[in-house]
Amino acid sequence: MTEFPMARFEIKLPAMGEGIIEASITKWFAGEGDVVNEDESLVEVATDKVDSEIPSPVSGILKKIVYQEGEIPKVGEVIAVIETDKENKTIEDVSTSESFAEEVETKPSSDIENIPVRESVPDMNDKQPSSDNMPDKKKIFLSPYIKYLARQRGITNGELNKIKGSGNEDRITKNDLNNYILAGRLFKKTFGKNIIQEHQKSPSQERAGTINENEEIIEMDRVRRLIAENMLKSKKTAPHVTSFIEADVTGLVTWREGIKEQFIKNTGANLTYTVLITEIVAKCLRDFPRINASVEGDKILIKKEINIGIATALTNGNLIVSVIRQADKENLHGLAIKINELTQKARLNKLLPTEIKGSTFTITNIGQYNSLTGTPIINLPEVAILAVGTIKKKPAVINIIGGPAIGIRDIVMLSLTYDHRIIDGALGGGFLNSIANSLENFDINRVI
């Protein structure tokens, strides 16, 4: 092992955005005594729904882990000490969420990242040697987290030797590993019985001691567990009521079709229906402040800011809500740019902790998969959530000169789920009707 002089670097928990004072240590990628490389992911921390990897700022030996997995340090506290041959130094609080974003990739899932590597893959504890498990002549280099994920998924040394790495010096990256699995290396096809029992048991199976060979076992990742806990808490806490309304959005659809190409040229952002609905919802919330609220005991807290959350489905099957702050003060251009940016960052796992906190009302677009409507679960501590179904062309009654007639119209179904502790049907229905009226009476002569 390389010898390092006794210079010490203290690794402190960086600032992670406004209002965030602590984080939970979810995983150390190295142990005490391990050699770590500069820029290699050292530790994963979590705040609410977001996981963040902190890289090592220096190369050296991880001398001491101050906070263990599951413990919760505060921002600025020392979480680890590294010995190195460089000058004594303390790695201070990065001080701003923007600079922290340059050092740490923030992500709402536990997927591994393309991080530097440092040592060869360890024994995978295979019970019986086979041609698949025998190491190849070449030496495979993997990051600690790649090795961890390989073990969790039951990928053997032999399989790793078959994966062509796309990283520096042919090193295996997260994309290489994921692509290998997606290409057909499914758990249920390749897991040996011992590996399934070691890595994929559910609590019920641990109790029973048996595994059904006709079932595939997938453990919830941390984000999915949090989503499950939050949804269950919401249903237990808030009595849910859902109201529905149809809106004729023919004028809005026609206007958007005529302006969307020019809008992209002017702003660089897509003029989506989500953008247009967000603008309308933000204005309606001004007139219905009790919808923009939360409940604390027997008190109703009316929020002065209108911060609209936009629910985004991720490629890993999870869901995250990014936040447009003070949405009612943004013009259409500003809303489009912010929504496009946050949606893209969400899908690339690059949202900052501050970009998913503080929403006061949430919009979820369930129409992207042709769903007509739904009954969404309230995103606590909010008291209401709007679901937007797909826009369908339907025959509808229209009023023309001479009397009613049947025409082909663009119709959307909206559903509002609200907390019946403080929102009754009249208030919830009035707010929903206000949104529908604004959509139906959209100014088709609007100039951008």
Residue 82, SS3 per DSSP: strand
Please indicate whether residue 105 or residue 247 has the higher confidence score (pLDDT): 247
If one counts every other C-beta atom within 10 angstroms of the C-beta of residue 45, the result is 25
Q: Give the largest CA-CA distance in the chain.
A: 93
pLDDT at 186: 44
pLDDT at 39: 77
Edge-to-edge strand order for the sheet containing 41-47? 24-28, 41-47, 50-55, 105-107
Please return the burial class of 47, using the count of CB atoms within 10 Å of its CB with bins 0-12, 13-18 and 19+: buried
In this predicted model, what pLDDT tens digit does every residue of 304-352 receive, in sequence order? 999 999 998 887 778 889 999 999 999 999 999 999 999 988 888 788 8
Angle (nearest 5°) at CA 111 between 55 and 165? 80
Q: Does 209 score more than 50 pLDDT?
A: no
Residue type, 308: I
Which contiguous run of DSSP H or E holds residue 62?
strand 60-65
Average pLDDT of 33-61? Answer: 82
| 419, 294 contact by CB (below 8 A) | no
Average pLDDT of 154-161? Answer: 75
Average pLDDT of 145-149? Answer: 61
If one counts every other C-beta atom within 10 angstroms of the C-beta of residue 34, the result is 16
Please indicate whether residue 95 or residue 173 has the higher confidence score (pLDDT): 173
User: Annotated catalytic residue: which of 85, 170, 287, 424?
Assistant: 424
Specify the residue for token string 């059904």: 212
Residue 398, SS3 per DSSP: strand
Which of left, alpha, beta for 241 (phi over 0: left; psi -120 to 50: alpha)? beta
pLDDT band at 115 (very low <50, low <70, confident <90, very high): very low
pLDDT band at 96 (very low <50, low <70, confident <90, very high): very low
pLDDT at 122: 38
Q: How far apart are CA 273 and CA 279, in angstroms?
A: 10
| 126, 47 contact by CB (below 8 A) | no
Written as six digits, the tokens of 248 are 């004729």
pLDDT band at 290 (very low <50, low <70, confident <90, very high): very high
| 409, 230 contact by CB (below 8 A) | no
If one counts every other C-beta atom within 10 angstroms of the C-beta of residue 92, the result is 11
pLDDT band at 373 (very low <50, low <70, confident <90, very high): very high
**Residue 424 among the catalytic residues:** yes
| 321, 310 contact by CB (below 8 A) | yes
28-42, 68-82, 198-212, 214-228: which range is least confident on average?
Answer: 198-212
Average pLDDT of 218-239? Answer: 88
> Exposure string (b/e) for 399-412, b if CB count within 10 Å is 16 or more?
eeeeeeeeeebbbb
Q: How far apart are CA 123 and CA 352, in angstroms?
A: 36
Q: Which domains does the chain have, with CATH numbers?
A: 7-107 (2.40.50.100), 119-220 (no CATH), 224-440 (3.30.559.10)
* DSSP letter assigned to residue 91: E
Output Rg (C-alpha) for the chain, integer angstroms: 26
pLDDT at 153: 66
User: Annotated catalytic residue: which of 85, 410, 420, 443?
Assistant: 420
Q: How far apart are CA 419 and CA 415, in angstroms?
A: 14
Smallest Cα–Cα separation from 196: which of 173, 214, 183, 184?
214
Q: Give the helix ranges, DSSP H, for 118-199.
A: 144-152, 157-162, 174-182, 187-190, 193-199
Q: Does 196 score more than 50 pLDDT?
A: no
Q: How far apart are CA 81 and CA 332, in angstroms?
A: 49
